[in-house]
Structures are given as structure tokens and as C-alpha cells.
Structure 1
């Protein structure tokens, strides 16, 4: 597949093949950078009409599990594929995983559900979080090697230990082999989160009931996804009983994030963003044709099949000036082109009042997903009358933007999980919008 095809409106990471609905072609496994993507991830040709409808399920053996008195710890997992709607209004199949906890829910009422939106995993189908749950460490060797670590198990297992059911979304195009992952697309990711809740509540043989409250958890890319979902819930999914959201380090203003990650260890995320923009908005192809050099096209094609580990090893601390015919950065081009500015403005999170109570946590020294733009989102929500708990996380600043960004993920995780648990148990939160502008 040519580089031009990779970044046009029909951008695809791998070749799409068969389906499993009648009349059907046989779905089969494909390979991405030496890793076999099971046939489960090939979507059917025809999708259900209703968002959140389960398309298929299968038992999922967790890479990290232990025998327990009442069952396997942390619980029983099911791989899922469900229907969602993308930002263009078209149907899309999304994969993920549901884990029924072995631990009992110790709060009042029915067992609650948390949708976990993963942080940045990459853009290759082998990077999906549900595949990482099965394999733990995903490694592919060959002419194009790859490595992906399922780091979201830390938060997931903490939630499960409290008796909270967890459903995790892979997002559109991450795992599923019919399209490229639309990295940080506000609507795609927000819809995928809400439809994951619908799909989990529709699964048979779980302890969830119609009275099960729903919470959302996400950091970094996941923080943006759940923040978007909280905004979209009233109009898109009023049937999802959303109680509370933890949005850590959300990329709410993509223009500011784009400028920050250029030249950092996570430059690859800039390429994933550009690839995703081109797939979601075909009109941007003209701009790409104008600005991208042959080296830029080759880099974007390469990144489209990479995971985070691959991208860091290959592109850390490089700059997007090497991608363009003019020597401009991607941020420079965004500033110069109204069409790009308008597109990114439409991706901004913070323009709609979120449902439920939201805890926004961000490192005060985060210079990868900048602290100021996350704080601005919280302030915008406060002005709209949202119930916001604003939690700046103070850690020593270091020379690595990647560490400044991911440090709060670990240091705040226990607090974030405990906070969600309290909200799902019915304990009220103390909001603090007055602190947003004062920190």
C-alpha cells in the first residue's frame, strides 16, 4: 500500500478482509509488524443499526491472572466487538474487553461499571489494549519489529479489586483491521467509550443490572476520550447512567498539544494525529499533498503500524520539520492554514457541559500534554456549570517531557481509583471550581 494511500481519506493500516455475517466471507487472521491479529478483529461487512450493539464475543484468557477462592483473579474476561458511530456519522466496529470481577462489590446497590479508555498505545492493530490483556507483552520480530506493553492493567486491576466491573475500549481502528486508528479524534473516542458501556450492559451472564451506575476512567489519550464522552453523553447516550469521570492529563486543545510533542520522546503521537486527521477529514488530503515531502510520507506510513515502544525507539526527539517540503513544523502549518485550524478547533474539549461529576487531574509540570490547556478545559466546564473537581498534581520537574507527563499517571492513580469508587458508592464529591483559576 502506497504512502499516499496511507494518508488519504481511505487511510488503512492493514488490508481488510472477510466477515462473519451472512452472506459472509470467512474472517481470517492478519499480520501487523510480525504480530498475528486474530480473526476476531476483522469486522463484518454489515453492522447493526443500534449503537452499543454487540457484534461478537469470545472468552479472553488474561495474561496476568491468579487462582482464587471464589474464582480466577482478577476475574473472568470476555473479548467484545460492538457497533459505534464515527465522527462522519458512519457505523464503525470497535473492539475491547469486559472483565467480570472475582471480588465482591462492597458498596451499596448493584455492582457498578467503569469504562477504561486506554492511554496512548500506538496506531498499529497489534497495539490494541484488548490484545495486550491476552498477551501481556506484545512482541513482533522481522523486517519491522514491534513491542507493546499493556500498562493499563495497573488501573484496571485496581478497579477490579474493589469489585467494580471494567470494560475497556480499543477505540475505532485500533485492533479492528478495516481502518486506521483515528488517534485523539474527539467524537470517535467519546462515542466508543459510551458505546462500550452499552455493550457491557448488554452482555449475558454478568452481575451488572439496569441499576448499575457507570463511571469513566482515562489518562492522556484516555483522559481526552472520557472527557469527550462526559460531554457527549446527554445527547448521544442518555441511556448510560453516567455518575462520575476521572479525566487525567486530557489533550483538550490539540493545537497546543501538537506544538508541545514535536521534538519530544513521543514525536510518534504527532504522526498518529496527522494520519487520523486525514482519515477523518478527507479535505485535508490537499494540504498534505502540498506540504509533505517524500520523507514525511514514508515516516507517516511507518508510524501508522507502530506502537509506542517502536515510535520512541525510532523517532524520539526528532522534529516534524523533516516531514515537510518547506522545513516548517506541523504546528507552523496548522497556524498558517485556516482549514487545519478550523478542524482542530472542532476537536476542542471543554465547549459542552459534562454529565455527572468530573475529576480533572494534570501534572503542573506536564510539558508533553501541557498543564495549561487541561486546566483551561476544567475552567471552561466550570463556566458552563459543570460539577468539576480540579486536582493539580505536583511532582518534581525533570528534563524528560515523557516522564513529566507519565509521572502523575502513577502517582495519582490510587487516588483516582478511590475517588471513582466513592462516587459509584454514592458518596458526594466536593467540587472546587474556585481553585481552577487560582492554581
Structure 2
């Protein structure tokens, strides 16, 4: 059964009270710790774990409760900290790293452990916020920055003075790149040793127009991003009101699901099957929401050392928009290394680029001279 057509459909809340916001949340500053707890790290041998609930901010400037999961290498004193923005690309709370690290849904869980092997601590924030607002890029940047603040403020974890790097690919690359761009104004006190980001969705309007109304293998994720943005901007982006009965059914069917489910069940569908109208992209407000979440249109520039890699022929995250962002950063003085790969398949570029990205982070942790390659 569907809900009212005009209303967004939010994820089922996590039943664990650890994820519930306190009544005084609004009195806290962004990054303030609300509660912490030790956790069993299960399959991640050689680690000890914590979860930190903290105050962050949504796209409308209102306080929200967010959570990050921290894994520390056993026996390492004062390890550097990597905030790793994982591949969430999902709509359900069970898909957030706080859950998906342990329930099998986090597909890059093994890759996320590479920093542990280098003797670094890793923090994996639920950067889509409590409503799992997939596609809300500005939100993800703010939650990422506040997660670093919170981990440093949680004295029991022992990372208060650790050097910090931020890393991610695809949706995680978008969150990482937005964190870098927002840091000078949103969290100016944070010192970031490095930011590495690849496969960045830098222009949401370009991606939406490129998808069009024809079948596309990535349609399930595109639909999920539309639903996630509606959750974050319910008044400005009323997508549910534009869906037909099939679209409303598919929305309800997928609203608590994760990346693999969304890709599988969206593979043979397209917007023409699910939309009652093709007029949404004609809406000025809808386009403004896409602009507000597109790095290509955000005027802020990072000041931290940054490494970006991107597939030249990537049909999922277009190269030209990322190249334009990189050129602007270079002209503004960002200490940037930009590495294009002659690759078309989106996830192949992740594998190709992460080794050098981690080496870049290690060099920054060692205070080596910062290279610039534009």
C-alpha cells in the first residue's frame, strides 16, 4: 500500500535508542558529542571499535543527530585518522555504515580496512543523515566534517590530536569533495592533512538530464537519489507527486533498501514507466536543488591538500564536470593533484586509483612536500 502521493517516504527508523536524538539537540554545536559506546568489531580482526552520536546540520540549517563508527588498530598509539565515506548509495538505515559494516551490505567494507593495515584509525560516518538522504551532497559534506569534529572531541577514543585525512569514491567521493569545499567556512578550525576523492558526481543536473527517460543500468540508483533528495527538500522537490501508481509502488518497494537491491530491481526500469509527468525538470526550484548539491556550481574552494581521480569515459559520473571543478580549484590556489584515467567503467577506476590515493595520504601524514598536478 502506498502513502499519500504528495508526501516523501522516509526510511524506517533504526529501533536502537542510540540513534534517537535527545530533546536538547538544538542547544549543542555542530560536532558536539551526544553519546558514545564501545562496539564489537566482529569480522574486523585486530581492531577495537566505537560509535559516536553527534550533532550535525541538515541542508536547511536545522540540527540533526548523526552517527559515525570508528575502528582503531589494536596496539597502535596515537594513530592518524581517516574519515572514510563509504559507498552507501542507498535508502535504508540498515545500509548506513553503522549497520552495513556488520550485516554484509557494505560492499567496500574490505577496501575500507586498508587504512587499518597501514596503522591508521578509520571513521565511517553515516553521512546521509538520519533520513538517509541519498543524493544530498551538501548534507553529506557537513555530516562528514562534524563526524571528524566529534571523533576528536570524544576524548575516550584518544584521537584528539591525530592528523586527519578524508577519503571516498563515487557517492563517498561526493561527500569527501563537499567536505573539502565546505571546510574553510563550515569547519575552519579543522586541519585536514589530505582529502582524496574519486568518481565524483559533480553535476547532478547534468547526470539527471543524461539519464533522461530511457532505460539505463543505473536507473535504480538514480531513482533512489531522487527519493533521497525529496526527503531532504520535501517542499522544493516534490517528486512523489510526479509519480504514477507504478512509480509510487516502486518508491514504497525500495524505500528501505540498499545498493544491490536498488540496482537489481531498477535495471529494467526507466523514468517514463514511473512518472506521471515529465515536467519536474522544468521546475526552477527543482533545478535549484540540483544546483545546490552540485560541486560544479559551488563557489567555495578547498584549502587542504587534495587528490582527485576520475575516469575520462565514465558514463555514470561525467568527466567534464569534474575537470572543470579541478581547473577552478587549481586557479584558486588549492594544492591539488588531479589524475585522469583512460577508463570508462566507474568502479574499475576506483580500483585503479585508490592505491595511489592512499600513498598520497601517507605522504601527507609524513609531512612530505605537497605535490601539485593540474
Do these two structures clear the TM 0.5 threshold for a shared fold by scoring above it?
yes
Question: After the TM superposition, which residues 250-261 of structure 1 pair with which residues of structure 2 at under 5 Å, given as runs?
Answer: 250-260=200-210
CA displacement, residues 211-245 of structure 1 (integer Å, 9 cap, x when unaligned): x2211001001111111111111111112111210
Give the C-alpha shift of residue 260 in structure 1: 4.2
Is 2:66 the partner of 1:118? no
What count of residue pairs does the alignment treat as equivalent?
369
Which whole-Å CA distance do the structure 2 matches of 1:124 and 1:373 have between them? 29
Give the C-alpha shift of residue 285 in structure 1: 5.0
Give the C-alpha shift of residue 372 in structure 1: 2.0
| CA RMSD across the alignment | 2.2
Is 2:190 the partner of 1:192? no
Question: After the TM superposition, which residues 355-394 of structure 1 pair with which residues of structure 2 at under 5 Å, given as runs?
Answer: 355-394=303-342
Secondary structure of the residue aligned to 1:4 is: coil
Mark the structure with the bigger radius of gyration: 1
Long gaps (5+) in structure 2? none
2:236–2:289 Cα contact (<8 Å) kept: no
Secondary structure of the residue aligned to 1:217 is: strand
Give the C-alpha shift of residue 112 in structure 1: 2.0
CA displacement, residues 43-84 of structure 1 (integer Å, 9 cap, x when unaligned): 334315111112222222223233xxxxxx1x2111221110
Give the C-alpha shift of residue 103 in structure 1: 5.7
1:260–1:369 Cα contact (<8 Å) kept: no
Is 2:181 the partner of 1:231? yes
Long gaps (5+) in structure 1? 17-28, 31-37, 67-72, 138-147, 398-403, 434-439
Secondary structure of the residue aligned to 1:40 is: helix
Q: Residue 172 of structure 2: which of 218, 222, 240 is its match?
A: 222
Q: Residue 229 of structure 2: which of 277, 291, 308 is its match?
A: 277
Which whole-Å CA distance do the structure 1 matches of 2:117 and 2:311 have between them? 26
Question: After the TM superposition, which residues 41-120 of structure 1 pair with which residues of structure 2 at under 5 Å, given as runs?
Answer: 41-47=19-25, 48-66=27-45, 73=46, 75-102=47-74, 104=76, 111-120=79-88
Which whole-Å CA distance do the structure 2 matches of 1:261 and 1:132 have between them? 28
Give TM-score scaled by structure 1 length.
Answer: 0.78
Give the C-alpha shift of residue 202 in structure 1: 1.5
CA displacement, residues 311-354 of structure 1 (integer Å, 9 cap, x when unaligned): 1221114211112124x4xxx742x2222222211222142111
Q: 1:287 to 1:197 in 2, by over 3 A?
A: closer
1:357–1:386 Cα contact (<8 Å) kept: yes
